[in-house]
Copies of this chain bind each other. A is one copy, B any other.
Amino acid sequence: MRLHVPARLRWSDLDAYGHVNNVQMLRLLEEARIEAFWSPEETAGVPVDCSETAVLNVQPGSGTLSLIARQEIEYLVQVPYLRQSLDIQLWLGRLGGASLEVCYEVWNPETTEPRVLFTRAATTLVLADSETGRPRRISDVERAAWSPYVEAPLEFSRRR
């Protein structure tokens, strides 16, 4: 099972080559990850539509930080400027004690044929106590929400 997060490009994601910049692609992944996993409840006075996986509370005062330990990304096809949202598909390649691996495939807009896979990536996240900076265990609520999205991790084809 995968999450599908629509990702709206900004024109400023393009670089002087006229394609989505390779670093900005990681920015899009960051935003998709936040959309998918961060709880929005306390960010505003009204309810926000969000995925059932959006249960990680990293609001200031929540006691939790979400830290990035590593990232790996393969760029398969250059991404042009598109006004329709990209289709970022996310799943968990691993759900550990205090850390998890988020895997991504970035596809062209869902309504577009043929489908094109632009990018594959993985991010290792560690949940940490915001006071001590030390890893904290994934809670039962988090584990329950995320377990359905555990799948085989990405196999990267371009590793040495």
**What number of A residues sit within 8 Å (CB to CB) of B?**
54
Question: Contacts A12-B23, A14-B15, A18-B60; is A44 near B160 (CB within 8 Å)?
Answer: no
Interface presence of A147 (CB below 8 A)? no
How many copies of this protein are present in the complex?
A: 4
Contact of A69 among B17, B74, B93, B94 (CB under 8 A): B74
**B81 close to A75 (CB less than 8 A):** no
Contact A84 B48 (CB under 8 A): yes
Residues of B within 8 A of A43 (CB): 80-83
B40 in contact with A83 (CB, 8 Å) = yes
A30 touches B (CB below 8 Å): yes
* Pick from B10, B67, B111: contact of A46, CB under 8 Å: B111
By the criterion CB–CB under 8 Å, are B27 and A70 in contact?
no
